[in-house]
Chain A
């Protein structure tokens, strides 16, 4: 069990550039979430996948954001035309869904810290 892996750990970019983050889930975890965390706040839900299907997107996810999970394994989160307000920690979390839903704990990666200059 290698845990949830996120790359890169840090990304510095200039405003207007595109960036892409990657998340590799724990093997056999079929549900994958993306969260965003700004300084002094708790993580905020962005979107999630059940296998390869993107089932829900938060209103926080503007048109400049797109996420994919081809083949239901790793996932990528792309931000186009980055803005300074996009600076945040982007966290990926995964879980293996079962019959009971409220007690499923999420396993988080260490996140990608994005700084937009």
Chain B
């Protein structure tokens, strides 16, 4: 079973509008972390935002906010006031406390959503 599911292969948004990118996850751990990364065409993965499973408030970082609904196991990324430079692939990722194969630290990624911002 997939650990991270991103159901939107592609999204379009008008410049200056807000957009929500969906992410659902699957884990039996109580302690885990959720991340969003941006990957422009240059290839580098850029960290955007983090949400811990025990954090009661939704994380925010500038124009990025994470809509964390623990019971639904969803961690949607909200980008406000979209800019042309936001056009990129966006990946949701999870790290479980027990980690991959018993180790810690490995991030498990979804397949990504390609966001295109229209002028």
Q: Are B43 and A89 in contact (CB under 8 A)?
A: yes
Q: Are A42 and B112 in contact (CB under 8 A)?
A: yes
Q: Are A42 and B99 in contact (CB under 8 A)?
A: no
Q: Are B44 and A102 in contact (CB under 8 A)?
A: no
Residues of B within 8 A of A103 (CB): 33, 50, 52
Chain B interface bracket (under 10, 10 to 19, 20 to 34, 35 or more): 20 to 34
**Complexed CA–CA distance, A107 and B95 (Å):** 15
Q: Is A25 an interface residue (CB 8 A)?
A: no
Closest Cβ of chain B to A106, distance in Å, is 6
Q: Are A110 and B111 in contact (CB under 8 A)?
A: no
Residues of A within 8 A of B43 (CB): 89, 91, 110-111, 113
**Complexed CA–CA distance, A42 and B6 (Å):** 10
Task: Determine, out of A12-20, A62-70, A76-84, A93-101, the stretch whose residues face the partner at the interface.
Answer: A93-101
Are A91 and B111 also in contact (CB < 8 A) when A55-B103, A56-B100, A105-B35 are?
A: no
Residues of B within 8 A of A31 (CB): 105
Give 16 pairs: A residue, B residue, CB < 8 Å, sorted on A.
Answer: A33-B105, A41-B111, A42-B111, A43-B45, A48-B103, A55-B103, A56-B103, A91-B45, A93-B107, A101-B104, A102-B33, A102-B53, A103-B52, A104-B95, A104-B105, A105-B35
Residues of A within 8 A of B (CB): 31, 33, 40-45, 48, 55-56, 58, 89, 91, 93, 95, 97, 101-111, 113
